[in-house]
Structure 1
Amino acid sequence: MNKFTLLLLIFTLILSTKILQAQQPNAIITGKVSIKDNKPAEAVSVGLSGTTKGAITDNSGFYTITHVLPGSYNLTFSGVGYKKFTKSITITAGETLDINVTISSDEQQLQTVEITGRKEKTYKTTKTFIGNKTQTDIKDLPQSVSYASKELIADQGAIRIGDVVKNFSGVNQFTTYDDLTIRGFRVNGGSNTQLLNGLRTSTGFWKQPLTNYLERVEVLKGPSSALYGNASPGGVVNRVTKKPLNENRKTVSFSLGSFNTLRALADFTGPANQDSSLLYRLNFGYEDANSFRDLQFDKNIIIAPSLSFVASPKTRINFDLVYNNSRSRLDRGQSTRLNDLYSTPASLSINTGNDRLNEQTYIVTLSGIHQFNDHLSFNAAYSRTGYQEDLYEHRSANAYAVDGNNTAIPNLVALQIFSRIRKRYIDNFSGYFNYKANTGWLEHNIVAGYDYGSERLPVGASQLTASGYRNAANTGSIGSYDPTKKANYLLDKNGNPVPNVPSFNLDDVINSQRMQDDSKDFFTQVAVDPTYYYLNAGYVQDQVRLGKFQALLGVRYEYYTDFANYKKATEAKTHSSAWLPRFGLVYTATKNINFYGTYVEGYNPQTASTLSNPNAGGPFKPLTSNMIEFGAKSSWLNDMLTISTAVYQIDQNNTLYNANVADQPDLLRQVGKERSKGIEFDITGRITPNWSVLASYAYNDAKITQSLVPAEVGSQKPNAPKNLANIWTRYNVSRGMLNGLGIGAGANYVDKRTLSLNLAQGIPSYTLLNAALYYQVGKVLLQFNANNITNKKYWVGGYDYLRLFPGAPSNYLLTLNYTIN
C-alpha cells in the first residue's frame, strides 16, 4: 500500500467515524450588529468561545453561526475600528437564537497605516493600503487590484508566491524563481521593486519565499512609480505580513506530502500585557522538502515576530521582522535536445552533487502613526533588507557543445561553473502626513510625503567562473570556439575542442549529475563590482469626493543618484529625475457599482545598481511607461461577493532583454517600444455563507512595437500568454451527518507562450485541475490537497529549450491543523 492510498484510507476512516457518531440537534445563532443611530457595523468578527466557529457581519450588519452544539458560551464581537464586546449566552438543542447588539467605535484603532491585524476569515478583502497609502475601499480606488487572503492561501495549501499568483487575473510565472509576468511585463524579487507592507524590498530572486507569515498577497496593476518609485509598468506585488491581534489565537500545523515534503508552521498572537497596550504575533515555519526535479531540495527556517505598542489613544508603534534561512540548490532548468521539447524528462536538471545555494534574508521594519486630531495624522516607516548569497553551481552555458566544425552536438550541453558570494542591503524610509478636510461641498483626503530609498552591493562580492574551451597548451581556457583557429585549442581524438568544464551528457545523465572533480578546471575571476544608488522623492495627492464622484490627483518627483565605478578611483555621481503624474476618477452609479478611469506614468532608471546586476552591460536609457485604464467594481449578495473588470493599455520604452551571448550570460540589450492591452475579470467572495469562490479571466495582447531586430516587431512578448483563466471554490457542509466536511476544487488555464525572443521556441498551453477535502472536528482541522490530478505535463516558463522550467506532476499534501485556543 503506497503512502497516497494510506492517507486516503485514514481520511476515510475519520470521516466514517464522524458519520456514525450520534448527533445532537444543531442550533443557530443569528442577529445584527449596529453602531450608534442603528447604522450597520460591517466586517465585525463574531466569535463563539471554546470553538472555532464564527462569522463576519455583511454590509447590513447581519451574521449567522450555524451547527452550534447546546451549551453556554461567550459571544465576542470585535473588529477594526470597534471596541471589543462580549455577551454571555446559553443555547439549547435545535434553537435559533437572535442576538442583536450595538457596539462602539474605538478611537484607539488608528487605520491610516496598516499596522493592525485583520480578523476577517474570508476570501474577500474590502480595504487596501496599496493604492494610495491610506486605508481605502478597493471599490473606491481608480486602479485594478488583485489579492489573495490568508484563508484562500491556506485552503489551497499554497506555500509560495508562485502558487498564490495563479489566482490573479493577468499574472503568471516567468520562471520558477521569484519571477513573475504582470500584464505582459516582468517583475521579480531580484530587483527592489517588490513591496513588503508597502515598502520596497528584495527576496533574492532565486527562491520564492514561504507565505506562512503573510496576511495576504496583492498586486496593484499598472505603473506604480507615482506611489512607490521605480517599478515594473505591469504592476507591483505587495506582501502584507500578519499583524498582532488583541485577542489570543494560537495555531500549529504539520504537513506531509509528495517529494518527501515535511512542514511545521505555528502562528501565535494576543496581548502581551494586562491592559493590551502591547500586542505580539509570532509566525514560525520549518520546511524540509525534495522535488520532482533531480537533485533539488529546500530546507527553510522562517521566523517572523511582530510587536504593536499602543503608546496612547493617538499613537501606535509597530515592529516587524522576517528572517529566512534557506539551504538548497539552484535549479537552472531543464535542457532538451536542440528544438525537441519532449526529448528529455521533466525531472532532468543540469546539476551535480557539488552544487549549493545558501541564502539568508532579513527584513526589519519599524513603523508608527501619531494622530494629532480628527483631521491630521503623521505616518512614518523605516525598513532594512539584508541579503546574503553563497552559491556554487554547474549550469548550462546557454549552448550545446560543438564539434571541430562548430556544429552543435545535440546530446551534449555545454557547462560552466559559478562560484559566488555577495551581500545586498536595501534601506527605505517613508514619511507622510494625511489630512482630511472639507471645502464647501468637497471632501478632501490629502497625502503629502517624502520617500528615501537606497541599495548597496558592498565591497567583497566575488565570483569565479569556469567556462569555454581549453587552449592548446592545456594551461587555460578560451571563451568560445573558432574553427578557423583550431591550432589554438586542445582537441580530442576526434578533432573536437575539449571543453574547460566537461559537458553534460544527456545520454548519460547519472554520471553527469555525480559530484565532479572541478580541481582540473580553469577558473577566472569575474568582476562583481560594488554598486550603490539612492533616491529622494516627494509627492502629494488629493482624493476629492463630490457627491457620487471621486477624483484622485497626484504627482511625485523622483531624484536618483547613482555611483558609477563605485569605490574605485574613477567613482563619479550620476543623476536622473522624473515628474510622475497620476489621475483617476470614480463614479458611484449605484450603492453596489462604481465605474472608474485612470492615467498613470512610470519611470525606472536602468543602471548597474538599479538592475542589481553589475554584469548587465549598459549604460541603458531609463524605462518610461504610461497606462490608461477603465473599469468597474461592484458588490453583490449583501456585499458577500465582488465582481470587477478592467480594460487597459500600457506603453513602455527601452525594455531590456537578455542578449544571448554564450560567454556573457548576464548581458542585456535594449528593445525600443512595447505595448500591452487587454481586459480582465475578477470574482471574489461568497455565494452563500458556506460557499466561497474566486475566479478570474484575462486577455492580454502584449507586443513588441519597435525594435532594431525587424523580426521581433509584432511578436508577443516572452512568457506573456494571451489568455489566462482560473477558478477556485470551497463548500462547507454545516449540518447533518456530514457536518464539518468541506470540499474544494479549482482549475488553472495558461495559454501558449514564446520563450525569450526566440520566435521558433515556445511552450504549449495547459490546464491544471486541483482538489481538496477538509474535515473539522472541534479544534482540529484535517486537510488533504491534491494538485494536478490529471498529471498534466507542462512548463510554467523559461528562457529557451536549454533553460525550461517544468511544472510539478500530480502531487498531494496532507495537513493537520490544531487551534490551541
Structure 2
Amino acid sequence: MAGHLKIQSISSLVAIVFCNALVAEENVAALSTIEVRGDVDNGYVAKRANSATKTDTPILDTPMAIQVITRDVLDDQQTLSIQEAVKNVSGVQTPPGVYYDNFLIRGFSTGSDTFRNGLKLNGVIGTEDMAFVDHVDVVKGPASMLYGRIQPGGLVNIVTRKPQDETAASLQQQVGSWGLLRTTADITGPANKDKTLLYRVMGVYDQADNFIDYQHHKNAAGAAYLSWLPSTSFQANLQLEYYDQKVANPGYSAQQIPIIGNRPADVPRHWTQNDPVMWSQWPNTVKRTTAAFDWTYAFNDSWKLTQRFLYYTADEVQTYLLAQAFNARTNLLNRRISYNPVSRDEYSTNLDLTGEFRTGNVGHKLLVGMDWFSYESVFKGYNESGSTLNRVPPLNIFAPVYGNIDVARMQAYFDAAAGNVLSRGKWRDTGYYVQDQIAFGGHWELLLGGRYDIATNDGAKVYGAVSAACYPYCTGALDQGVPTERKFSPRAGLLYKLSNDVSVYGSYSESFGNSISSASSFSGSSLPPQEGVQYELGAKASLMGGRVTTSATLFDLYLRNRPTADPLHPGFVVAVGEVRSRGFEFDVAGQVSNHVSLIGSYTYDHAVITKDNATGASAIEGHRWFGVPLNSASLWAKYDTAPGATAGWAFGAGAYLNGQRQGNNTNTFQLPGYARFDAMLAYRTRAGGKPVSLQLNVQNLFDKTYFENTDGGVYSAYGAPRSVIGSARIEL
C-alpha cells in the first residue's frame, strides 16, 4: 500500500505540473528554448553528456569517466549490436556467458541491467535495435548515487533518436555473411505547419544464420516517436516500440566449448552443442513492447522540471540446449533442454528538479530528484538443470552427431509442465537523491551528491531439477525472507580547470547491488548486497579547437561482500570476499584533420581477488579475476576524401586487441590474447537527385581465430570469423 501511495503522489504531482505548464504558457516570457535534437555533436566527438550527472554538463567539466559512441561511429562501423558498439571504449569487455544484454566494465559485469534514456531495464535481449539509437553513453565506476541498485563497474545508457523539425526519409538495405538480410526504413518531420508536433517512424526487418551451426535469427521491430513543443518552455515526448524476435539458442547457449587442460577444446569454430531441432521445433521467441514518456517544463532560464516514465512488457519462450557435464576421458558431453515460457513487466520513472543559482561568488547547479523501479517476472515450464536423467543424447565433441533428439518425447515433458511455475521475481526500488555542482574561485568545481534507497528483492522458490517434490506442479511461491535494504550512496568529485580546454579531477563514489540469495548462508538469513567503492583521478582535454577530445584516468575500484566459504560452517558462505580492479584508461575521439576522424582507447586493468576464505585447491585469494585482460586497446580511423561534399569516398580501418584472460578464478585455464582487424570502404553520390551511399565493412579482416569469452567455469565461445556487411542507403 505504501508503494501504491508513492506512485499516486508522483502521478498527482506530475498532473499538477503538466496542467500548470499549459496554463502558464501564455504568461511565460523570455524562457530558454528546449531543443528536440540530441546532445551529441556531429562526427565522432561528443562535448556534453547527461548520463553521468543527469544535468546538462560539458564532459570536460564532469569529474568522472564517461565516454560516448556517436551515431557517426555506429554508421561507419555498421554496428548491429550494443555489445559491438562499446568495444570502442576503454575498460569495456565482452562479459562471460552473455544471454541478456550485459557488459564487463572495469572488470565487473553489469548483470542484466541496461539503461534506456536514463531509465533502467532488466532482463532484455537486444535492448534497443541499433536503427533506433542516436548514441551510447558509457558511465564508468559506481553510479548508485543517481541510479540506485547497480553493479560497481558502471552502466551503459542507450539514447534513442528523436523526431526532427525538417522532413527526411531514408531506406537502407544491408546484406552480409551467413545470409544476413536487414532492411531499415526511417521517416521523420513535422506533423503540422508551426512545427509544434514532430514525429519519427522507423521499422526494421533482420534475418540471418550464424557462423555457429544451427543458430539463426529472424527479427522485426517498429518504433513510433512523437514530440510536442507547444512553447519554448515546455516539451513532451512519447515513444512506442514493438519487437518480435525469434532465435535459436541465443547468447551463451549458442556455443559452449569444454575446457581440456588449460585451453578450450580444439573444435571447429562452427561447432556447437546445439541441435537443428531447436530452430525447427522450439525456437527462442520474444514479443515485447516498450512505452516511454517524458516531459520537461522550464520555469525560467535557470530552473526546470523533468519527468521520465518507461513501461516494458514481454512474453517470451526461452528455449536452450545446454552443456551439462563433460567427460574428458570419453569426449562425451551431456546436454539438457530447458523450455520456459516467461512473462515480465517493468516500470521505471523519475522526477528531477534542476536549477542554477548563486550564493555570493559561488555558483550552484542543483539536482533534486526521486525515482522508482518495479520488476516482476514469472518463469514457467520444464528445466532439467541438475538432472541426471539425460533425456537428450550425449554428444561426442570431436565426432558430433546431430538430429537424434526424440521430439515427441521431449514435447510430452514440455506439455506436462505447462503450468509448472519454476520461479517468480519481484523487485522494488525507491530512491531519493540530491546533487550540487559547485563552481568557485574561477577554476574549481566541486560535485557533492547523496542518495537514499529503499529496495526490496523478493526472490522465489526455484525448482530447477525434475526430481523436485512438486515437479511438474510447482507454484513458485514468493519467498519474502530477503529484508528491505536501506542504503545511502554518496559521491564526491573535485575538478580544476587548468584552462578552458584542460581539466583535472579526483572523485570518490559508492554503489550497491541486489541482495544475495540466502540459500547457502548457515543462519538462513539473507547475505548483504554486494557493494562497490572507487577512487578515481583523471584528466580531460579538448584539442584542435574542440574537434578532438581526450581523457586519461587512474582508478582503484573494489567489489565487496562477495560470497566466500564460511570457515566455521563448511558448505555455507559468508559475504566477506573482495575483488580489486585497479588500472589506467585512455580514450581519444574526434576529427584530427579535415579528412581524418578516429576513436581509440587503451586499458591497463590489474583485477585481482584480494579477500577469500577458500583453501587448498579451491584457494583463489591473490588470483587474477577471470575474463579481464591486463592490457587491451582499440583504434578505428576513417579517411574522407571530400568531407561534407555530396560525392566522395571514405576509407576506414580498425583494430581490437586483447591480452590473455584468465578463464576462471582458480586460474587453471586461459583464453589466449588476440588482435582483430576491421576495414571499411564507402562511396556517396546522388542518383535521380537523391543522396545515395554505398558501404562495405569487413570484420576480422585476416580471419583471426580467437575466443570471445568464457562462463568463468568450464566453457568458452569463439569470436566470429571474417564477416562482410554491404549496405545501400538512399535518402528519399
The answer, yes or no, to whether TM exceeds 0.5 is: yes
Match of 1:548 among 443, 451, 459: 443
1:512 counterpart SS class: coil
Match of 1:377 among 279, 300, 304: 304
Q: List per-residue Cα deviations over 1:233-255 (Å, max 9, x = no partner).
A: 11111000001111222221101
Q: List per-residue Cα deviations over 1:294-320 (Å, max 9, x = no partner).
A: 000111112122111013221111112
1:201-280, aligned counterparts within 5 Å?
201-205=121-125, 209-280=128-199
The structural deviation recorded for 1:573 is 7.4
The structural deviation recorded for 1:346 is 1.3
1:232 counterpart SS class: coil
Q: Which residue of 2 aligns with 1:394?
A: 321
1:421 counterpart SS class: strand
- Cα distance in 1, alignment partners of residues 432 and 656 from structure 2: 41
Match of 1:412 among 332, 335, 341: 332
2:83 counterpart SS class: helix
1:549-698, aligned counterparts within 5 Å?
549-563=444-458, 568=477, 574-607=483-516, 619-655=526-562, 672-698=577-603
- Cα distance in 2, alignment partners of residues 604 and 730 from structure 1: 40
For the 8 Å contact 2:39–2:49, the answer to whether it is kept is no
2:331 counterpart SS class: strand
1:442-591, aligned counterparts within 5 Å?
442-458=362-378, 461-466=379-384, 479-480=387-388, 499-509=390-400, 511-513=401-403, 515-517=405-407, 519=409, 528-546=422-440, 547-563=442-458, 568=477, 574-591=483-500
Q: Which residue of 2 aligns with 1:200?
A: 120
Q: Which residue of 1 aligns with 2:257?
A: 335
Q: Which residue of 1 aligns with 2:655?
A: 747
Question: One-letter code of the match for 1:172?
Answer: Q
1:39-50, aligned counterparts within 5 Å?
none
Q: Are 2:320 and 1:426 equivalent residues in the alignment?
A: no
For the 8 Å contact 1:338–1:801, the answer to whether it is kept is no
The structural deviation recorded for 1:219 is 0.7
What number of residue pairs does the alignment pair up?
A: 659
2:274 counterpart SS class: coil
- Cα distance in 2, alignment partners of residues 736 and 582 from structure 1: 42
Question: One-letter code of the match for 2:588?
Answer: I
Question: One-letter code of the match for 1:599?
Answer: Y
- Cα distance in 2, alignment partners of residues 540 and 737 from structure 1: 47
Q: Which residue of 1 aligns with 2:33?
A: 109
Question: One-letter code of the match for 1:582?
Answer: R
1:42-121, aligned counterparts within 5 Å?
107=31, 109-110=33-34, 116-117=37-38, 120-121=41-42
For the 8 Å contact 1:537–1:558, the answer to whether it is kept is yes
The structural deviation recorded for 1:515 is 5.0
The structural deviation recorded for 1:504 is 1.5
Question: One-letter code of the match for 1:793?
Answer: T
Q: List per-residue Cα deviations over 1:483-512 (Å, max 9, x = no partner).
A: xxxxxxxxxxxxxxx844321122442x32
Deviates further, 196-205 or 216-225: 196-205
Question: One-letter code of the match for 2:637?
Answer: T
The structural deviation recorded for 1:143 is 0.4
- Larger of the two Rg values belongs to structure: 1
The structural deviation recorded for 1:594 is 0.7
- Cα distance in 2, alignment partners of residues 259 and 684 from structure 1: 32
Q: Say if 1:768 and 1:513 are closer, same or farther in 2 by CA, change over 3 A.
A: farther
Question: One-letter code of the match for 2:304?
Answer: S
Q: Say if 1:446 and 1:467 are closer, same or farther in 2 by CA, change over 3 A.
A: closer
2:484 counterpart SS class: strand
- Cα distance in 1, alignment partners of residues 501 and 188 from structure 2: 35
Q: Which residue of 2 aligns with 1:144?
A: 65
2:130 counterpart SS class: coil
| Runs of 5+ unmatched residues, structure 2 | 1-28, 462-475, 567-571
For the 8 Å contact 1:202–1:385, the answer to whether it is kept is no
Q: Say if 1:714 and 1:572 are closer, same or farther in 2 by CA, change over 3 A.
A: closer
- Cα distance in 1, alignment partners of residues 275 and 232 from structure 2: 59
- Cα distance in 2, alignment partners of residues 732 and 297 from structure 1: 36
Question: One-letter code of the match for 1:214?
Answer: V
Q: Are 2:267 and 1:344 equivalent residues in the alignment?
A: yes
2:149 counterpart SS class: coil
TM-score by length of 1: 0.76
- Cα distance in 2, alignment partners of residues 417 and 334 from structure 1: 14
Question: One-letter code of the match for 2:560?
Answer: N
Q: Are 2:362 and 1:436 equivalent residues in the alignment?
A: no
Q: Which residue of 1 aligns with 2:3?
A: none
Q: Say if 1:436 and 1:427 are closer, same or farther in 2 by CA, change over 3 A.
A: same
Q: Are 2:641 and 1:721 equivalent residues in the alignment?
A: no
- Cα distance in 2, alignment partners of residues 131 and 315 from structure 1: 24
Question: One-letter code of the match for 2:541?
Answer: S
- Cα distance in 2, alignment partners of residues 792 and 786 from structure 1: 13
- Cα distance in 2, alignment partners of residues 569 and 128 from structure 1: 40
The structural deviation recorded for 1:668 is 10
For the 8 Å contact 1:687–1:693, the answer to whether it is kept is yes
For the 8 Å contact 2:530–2:562, the answer to whether it is kept is yes
The structural deviation recorded for 1:108 is 5.7
Question: One-letter code of the match for 2:706?
Answer: Y
For the 8 Å contact 1:162–1:208, the answer to whether it is kept is no
Q: Which residue of 1 aligns with 2:292?
A: 365
Q: List per-residue Cα deviations over 1:763-792 (Å, max 9, x = no partner).
A: 100001111001011201110111111110
Question: One-letter code of the match for 2:492?
Answer: F
Match of 1:712 among 608, 615, 620: 620
The structural deviation recorded for 1:272 is 1.2
Among all aligned residue pairs of Structure 1 and Structure 2, give the percentage whose two residues are the same amino acid: 27
Match of 1:294 among 197, 207, 213: 213
- Cα distance in 1, alignment partners of residues 563 and 218 from structure 2: 33
For the 8 Å contact 2:175–2:181, the answer to whether it is kept is yes
TM-score by length of 2: 0.85
1:212 counterpart SS class: helix
Aligned-pair RMSD on alpha carbons? 2.9
Question: One-letter code of the match for 1:621?
Answer: P
- Cα distance in 1, alignment partners of residues 606 and 725 from structure 2: 36
Q: Say if 1:606 and 1:561 are closer, same or farther in 2 by CA, change over 3 A.
A: closer
The structural deviation recorded for 1:174 is 1.4
Question: One-letter code of the match for 1:643?
Answer: T
For the 8 Å contact 1:352–1:394, the answer to whether it is kept is yes
- Cα distance in 2, alignment partners of residues 147 and 735 from structure 1: 22
- Cα distance in 2, alignment partners of residues 128 and 109 from structure 1: 18
- Cα distance in 1, alignment partners of residues 433 and 87 from structure 2: 33
The structural deviation recorded for 1:381 is 0.9
The structural deviation recorded for 1:360 is 2.1
- Cα distance in 1, alignment partners of residues 309 and 603 from structure 2: 36
Q: Are 2:718 and 1:792 equivalent residues in the alignment?
A: no
Q: Say if 1:129 and 1:723 are closer, same or farther in 2 by CA, change over 3 A.
A: same
- Cα distance in 2, alignment partners of residues 337 and 377 from structure 1: 56
1:352 counterpart SS class: coil
Deviates further, 193-202 or 796-805: 796-805
For the 8 Å contact 1:249–1:269, the answer to whether it is kept is yes
Q: Are 2:718 and 1:806 equivalent residues in the alignment?
A: yes
The structural deviation recorded for 1:618 is 8.4
The structural deviation recorded for 1:692 is 0.5
1:792 counterpart SS class: coil
- Cα distance in 2, alignment partners of residues 800 and 624 from structure 1: 21
- Cα distance in 1, alignment partners of residues 173 and 199 from structure 2: 23
Q: Say if 1:565 and 1:258 are closer, same or farther in 2 by CA, change over 3 A.
A: closer
